[in-house]
Structure 1
C-alpha cells in the first residue's frame, strides 16, 4: 500500500492510497487477475478506520470483459470467505495464552483506553484462521470497528457465519455442552442493545469456562469468579466459532 496524498478535516484523516492485491478470478477459467485501485481511507478517533472508498469504479465499467462473471457481489464474497475459512482452535487458545499479559507489538493497543478486549479477541481469531478483509482488519496502525468494537465484532461473526449463537448463561451443566475452547463469550447489561465486552474460552474444567481477555487483563479466569465481579444486571452470551 502506497500513500499518494493525505489531508485532515474535523479530526477525520483522509489518505489516497494505491493498494495492489491479487484476487481469484471468479470465472470458469480460474485464472488470477490483479487490480490496482486508488482508495480513500478515512480514520476517526483512536486510529479506527471509519470508511474505505474505491475512487475509480469507472475502471471496471470501461473493461471489455464481462465483469458480471468476474467481480463478486457481497453475498458471494461472504460465501467464499466461509468456504475458505478453517479454524484452528488450539491456535486461538495458544495466541490468547501467549499475549494475555504481553501485548503483541504487531497490533495497535487500546489498553490506555481500557478498551482492548475486542482488539485482542480479533487477534486470536486471526491467529486461528479468520481472514482479514476491508470490514475486519487490524494492524499496528489502525483497526476497523468490526475488529475492535465488541458489538460490531459480535454481529460481524454472526453475519458472516463465522460464529453461531450458543446460549445466554454458560454455567455448568447442559447449557454448556455445546461450548469448546477457542469459542467466544460476551456480556451486556439488561436493557442494553450493545455488547460490552469480549472474552475467549481458553480452558474448560468440570463443565466450567475459563476465560482469557484484555481490559483488566486476565488469563484463564474461571467464569464463577467473573460473575461475582460484574453488575447484577449483566447477561452473558456465548458464540461457537465455526466450522
Structure 2
C-alpha cells in the first residue's frame, strides 16, 4: 500500500458545495435515520478519493443497497476511521485544540452514545465551525449545538493500492 495526503481543501469545498442540497449520486438518508454521516463520508471521500472495498468492515458507497454501515452510521464510521489498517482514510481521536478543517467531530449524549457527525470546515481561536446534513448547516459554530460529549477525529492520512 501507498500513503498519500488527505486533501482537506477538497473535503471542505465539497462540504460547502453540498451543505444545503443533496448530491444526486447518493441516496438522501434524511428520512431513514439522518443524513449526517452519509454527508460526512461524502466529504471524506472528496478529500481522499479512495474507498475501502472490504465487505462489512470497509468503507464504501456504490449504491443505496451496496454500501457499508461505516458510510452512514456514526458509530461505524468512528470504528472504521480509528481502526482502519487497509486502504482509505484513517484517523485518530484527538482533542479540540488539534483539529483541522476536513476533520470530523461526533456529538454524543452523557450515556456515551454518539448521534451526529459534522465536518469541521474552519477553526479559529474562538470556535470550531462545521458543516452538516440533518439540520443542514455550513459555518455553524460548534458552540451553538447542544450536546453532552464530543469526540474529534483527525484524519491522519489515506492509504491506496
Superposition TM-score, scaled by structure 1 size: 0.57
Cα distance in 1 for partners of 2:41, 2:142 equals 21
Q: How does 1:204-219 map to 2 (within 5 A)?
A: 204-219=123-138
The CA deviation at 1:139 is 3.5
Q: Using structure 2 for the length normalisation, give the TM-score.
A: 0.84
Task: Work out the CA distance in 2 between the residues paired with 1:86 and 1:118.
Answer: 22
Q: Which has the higher contact order (CA 8 A, sep 6+)?
A: 2
Shift of 1:222: 0.6
Give, in whole Å, the separation in 1 of the partners of 2:102 and 2:126.
15
Runs of 5+ in structure 2 lacking a partner? none
**SS of the residue aligned with 1:152?**
helix
1:239 aligns with 2:153: yes
1:154-213 CA distances to partner (integer Å, 9 max, x unpaired)? 11000016101112xx3xxxxx1x111111100111123x32110111012334110101
Moved more, 206-215 or 146-155: 206-215
1:119 corresponds to: 38
Pairs aligned (count): 148
Post-superposition CA distance 1:95-136 (Å, at most 9, x none): 011000110001111012351100000011111015212321
| Structure exhibiting the larger radius of gyration computed from Cα positions | 1
Offset of residue 219 of structure 1 = 0.8
- Match status 1:166 vs 2:89: no
Match of residue 102 from structure 1: 21
Query: Helix, strand or coil: the match of 1:180?
Result: coil
User: Which residue of the partner structure matches residue 198 of structure 1?
Assistant: 117
CA–CA distance in structure 1, aligned partners of residues 33 and 93 of structure 2: 27
